[in-house]
Structure 1
Amino acid sequence: MHSHTSLEFLIKQAEQLAEKRARKDIRPGWLTEFIYEAAELFVPLADTGRVGYDCRYNEGGWQVLFYLGDAEIFGGRHDGCRARMAFDFDLKLLLDCFSRVDSILYRTLREDLDLQLEEGNMIEIVGCLKETETSDAVTVGILSRPPEEAGPGMRMLPSGAVEPV
C-alpha cells in the first residue's frame, strides 16, 4: 500500500512538471513547428546524431541557432574527450521555409552570440518564415559546432557504436 501511494505521488509530480514546462514555453506554435522541421534537415555522416538548438527572443525578434551535438568518447586513451560529429545540412530546403529572405551570411565565430563558442562557423539567415502569424523577421543560424554549455549529445563507445545521451 505504501508503494502504491508513492507511485501515485510520482505520477502526479510528473504531470505537474509537464504542466509547468508547457506554461514556461513562450514560443509561438509556428516557431516550434519550424524548429522540428529544420532539425530534420541535419544529415549526420555517422549513422546517428542529436540536433540541439538555442531559441531566444530579443529586440530583433526570434533567434534560433541549430547545431549537431558532439560525441563524448567512452573508454580508451581518449576517454572523456569530445569529438565533433560531421553532418550535411540542406540549405535549399531551409530556404524553402522562408516567405522572404533579407540576408544570408557565412560567419566565422569567436566568442559571439551570447553563447560559449570556442571557434566555429555559422550560416545565418534572416527573414520571414512561411505560415507565421507575424511578419517579424526571424534569425536562423546553423552552427558548425555546438556551444560549450550544450554538453555532449552522443556517446561514442569503444566498439565504435554511437548512442544518444
Structure 2
Amino acid sequence: MTQGKTKEVDNRVNIGTKVVYYITLVISMLVGLWHFFVPHMFNWYDYLPMQYENLIVGINYTNLCFSALLFGSSLVLILLAKSAFRVNFETLVFYTFLTAVWVFRAGLSIFMPWPLEPIPAAAIGQLIGSIVLAVLMVVVTILLWINKRAHDQESHKKVNV
C-alpha cells in the first residue's frame, strides 16, 4: 500500500516538467554564481570614477547580495525539488516568486536593453538568455500549478466519497 501511494505522489508531475525544473534552476544558480565574478571579469571599475567610493561600494553590495540571493534561492529550490513535485503549496509559491524575478529581468532586457557597447555579445546573450529562461520558468510554473489544482480536486473528491 505504501509503495502505491509513493508511486502516486511521484507521478503528480511528468518527467519533462521535472527536467525543465532542474535545468531552469541550475541555470539560475549558475547566473548567481557567475555574478560574484562579473565586476572583475568585465572591469566594471574602469568605467567608474574612483572618487565615488560610495557608489562603488553600493554597486558591490547590490551585486553581491543579488548574487547570493539568486544562487541561494535556486539552490534551495533544487533541494526542495521533491516537495515541488509533490505540488507543495509553499514550494510552488517560492518557485513562482523566482519565476517572477526572471520575468522581471526579461522585461528589463526588452524595455531597457543592455547597451551593445563595449561587448555586443554580452548584451545579446543576456537578452536571449533571460527571455528563454523566463519563458521556461513560466511554463514550469503553470504546469506545477495545474498539477496542484488537479491534485487538490482529486483529494477533495476522495474526502467527499
Larger proportion of strand = 1
* TM-score of the aligned structures, taking structure 2 as reference length: 0.24
Q: Which has the larger radius of gyration?
A: 2
TM-score (norm 1): 0.24
Q: Which has the higher contact order (CA 8 A, sep 6+)?
A: 2
| Greater percentage in helix | 2
